Structure 1
Amino acid sequence: WKSRETRLSRAALAIPVSLPFLLGIAGFLGMLRMYRCLSLQEGQPIYLAVKGVVFDVTSGKEFYGKGAPYNALVGKDSTRGVAKMSLDPADLTHDTTGLTEEELKSLDDIFNNVYKAKYPIVGYTSRRILNEDGSPNLDFKPEDQPHFSIKDEF
């Protein structure tokens, strides 16, 4: 019999950048978890999120792939873990509450000089594009993002 990951349609891998806008919080985080499962299979994309931005880190599979040192960061928003340089499961969350100024500076440096510099952005977590009540964050404009081209969405 085939594993759950194997049964998933390969068509599910062709996810447009606009999909996070349609899924909402639970749906998009569920999609990241699905990609975590799929990333354990050779040849599948490897996604992780930092500061609400989803990166395709497949080109760094020696760091993020199955059995690699940073695989724990994959399939979720691991902002706190990146800031603290921690792989503790309790730190693998989007929550930055209580981080020191030094940790926040480290987060910004790693976000800009590692993730944005090396890996393509494939989407945004719903926490970045929605308010806590689930309504759209009107301040978020993908077309204003320096790494985003509206034509790439379609």
Structure 2
Amino acid sequence: MNQFDDGIREGMAEGERLPTDAAVVYARVQELSLSYRRRRRIAQSAGSAVLGVGLMAGLVQMHDFLQGGTATPQVTSPAARPADPSPSKAAPAPTPSKTEEEIPGRRELDAFFNAGYHWAEAEKLARLWHLDDPTDAKVMAGRRLLAGERLPIAPG
């Protein structure tokens, strides 16, 4: 034969001569099983924590989306602002931002929510008007409300 076969035969013959106690083998199996279970539980709990944080962040975002995202930012009055300690420095130029009129559909959404309608009515209107997205129904309903028309569903 060759040298590899001889090495394998010698190793197997040596292993056959070693006494193996069933209790020792069983104890080792139990010990390994316990360590594997611990590792698996740690990995599962870490994954659950990451998933939970992601779900909470998504829930907060979804809540804002379902409310129509019409929350207005807090604006402080000039009198409430602290005095600038160094008036000699030139203030950085403010970045231009979109006004409420520049955001497409903003007026329509505001009209929809100001009339007392909510997400449930938007879903009903979307089904009634055969639209896939309730947001489109909110915009269409807002246009009709701005035009002075009445909607087929009363506000909830």
Q: Which structure would you say has the larger RCO, counting Cα contacts within 8 Å and 6 or more residues apart?
A: 1
TM tier, smaller:
under 0.3
- Higher strand content, 1 or 2: 1
Give the TM-score of the pair, scaled to structure 1. Answer: 0.26
**Greater percentage in helix:** 2
Q: Provide TM-score, normalisation by structure 2.
A: 0.25
Larger Rg: 2
